[in-house]
C-alpha cells in the first residue's frame, strides 16, 4: 500500500493475485498443529486411562 492510498480501499486485483499465489501456508500449519494436538491427547488417554485399567473380561 502506498502512502497516498485510501486506507479502507478494497484490494486491487494485483494484490489479491499476489496473496493467492503464495498459498495457504498458515492454514496448513495450523491444521497440522491441531492434528498433532488431537493425536497427542488420544495417546495420552490410551496410555494413561485405557491401558492401566487392563483387559475387560
Element (H, E) at 31: helix 25-45
**The pLDDT value given to residue 5:** 65
Residue ranges covered by each domain of the chain: 25-52
Tens digits of per-residue pLDDT, 14-42?
A: 998 998 888 889 999 999 999 999 999 99
Three-state secondary structure call for residue 5: coil
pTM: 0.63
Assigned C-alpha cell, 38:
488431537
Amino acid at each position: 500500500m502506498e502512502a497516498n492510498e485510501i486506507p479502507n480501499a478494497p484490494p486491487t486485483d494485483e494484490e489479491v493475485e499476489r496473496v493467492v499465489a503464495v498459498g495457504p501456508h498458515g492454514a496448513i500449519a495450523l491444521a497440522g498443529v491441531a492434528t498433532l494436538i488431537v493425536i497427542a491427547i488420544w495417546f495420552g488417554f490410551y496410555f494413561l486411562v485405557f491401558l492401566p485399567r487392563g483387559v475387560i473380561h
